[in-house]
Amino acid sequence: MTLLNRNVDYAARALVFMARANKPTVSVAQMEGEVGVSRPFLRKTLQRLHKAGILQAVKGKGGGFALARNPENIRLSDLVSVLQGPLKLNDCVFRKQLCRHHDACLLRHKVSGIETRLLAELDSVTIKDLI
Amino acid sequence: MTLLNRNVDYAARALVFMARANKPTVSVAQMEGEVGVSRPFLRKTLQRLHKAGILQAVKGKGGGFALARNPENIRLSDLVSVLQGPLKLNDCVFRKQLCRHHDACLLRHKVSGIETRLLAELDSVTIKDLI
DNA sequence: ACAGAATGATACTGATAGGGTATCATTAAA
DNA sequence: TTTAATGATACCCTATCAGTATCATTCTGT
Ligand code: FES
Ligand code: FES
């Protein structure tokens, strides 16, 4: 199991770079070196964050990306939910009816609690924390 | 991201079933109904747990599987590490050199802390808790 | 007007992991 | 010797991960 996939990894580094840059926009070309991933791939990732409202984008010459919110308002959980999709609960939690005694199931409750606390941890880390 | 895959899900149910059964061994045929998965698949899963020393196995007629340890000594983290492999850290944590400032990296430390606490949670749940 | 630099959108590819089936060998009880 | 069980492999299909390629669009500077 991988907690964070590469997209989240790259995105976090790129966003930290942007937060530090103190410029209206930063182009992918300027970031690729520091982030350590090819330009087209990083671009696709940042486009997804743009669609999700986490980044602003300016097209055309001199354009690029910028944080759409203050760094302290962009959370690791935001990146995860956009780039890895929502945290899927364990199957019996998700698809009810998989086993009987669904409501009383202790595994379900334990796992649900663990996932809630994991999400809270991902929520508690912001881009500002990483600068 | 899925915290627990189906193998872990099925295995947990099967192990709880065995713990409750109070018999020397339980065959896969006896479990498949309660666990809700096909016999060959459940069998493969339990064989892996046997290889890992978590289950005992008795071949031949009347045979089956049994817990190799007391239920309070079999942890959710055991099932996860056998059936999902070890928790892989985020890429930059794992493959050093991916980005510079590796030692000082805050993302790395944050994620590492989150993963440690997640593992501790998986460690704290035993089969006994689920009976 | 035009060239160049940037993102938007989409399609494609290859590798890996998840989820599952099928088959044959081996063991032991009845 | 039949039958019921696990041991060990070899497959298969599908989805996700990771990355590339291409063309369209928009904006700036000359
Ligand atoms: S609800 Fe299915 S394992 Fe608990
Ligand atoms: S060590 Fe690579 S992102 Fe921190």
B1 vs A6, A36, A87: nearest CB:
A87
In-domain check, residue B46: yes
| A15-42 residue pLDDT tens | 999 999 989 999 999 999 888 889 999 9
In-domain check, residue B10: yes
Q: How far is B110 from chain A (nearest CA, A)?
A: 8
Q: Work out how many domains chain A is built from and give that number.
A: 1
Instruction: Tell me whether B127 touches chain A (CB under 8 Å).
Output: no
Position B94 scores a pLDDT of 47
**CATH code (residue B63):** 1.10.10.10
In-domain check, residue A1: no
Give the span between the Cα atoms of B18 and B67, in whole angstroms.
7
CA to C1' distance (Å), from A65 to C2? 26
Range of the domain at A15: 6-130
Q: Which of B43 and A33 is assigned the larger pLDDT?
A: B43
In-domain check, residue B1: no
Per the document, the length of chain A is 131
Q: Among B18-22, B84-88, B116-120, where is mean pLDDT lowest?
A: B84-88
- Nucleotide with C1' nearest the A9 CA: D18
Which runs of E-coded beta strand occur in B24-129?
55-58, 64-67
What would the mean pLDDT of B71-97 be, rounded to a whole number? 79
> Which pTM was predicted?
0.90
B36 vs A84, A98, A110: nearest CB:
A98
| A44-101 residue pLDDT tens | 999 999 999 999 999 999 999 999 999 999 999 999 999 998 877 665 544 545 556 6
Instruction: Work out the pLDDT band at B92, boundaries 50, 70, 90.
Output: low
| A-chain residue closest to B33, CA distance | A99
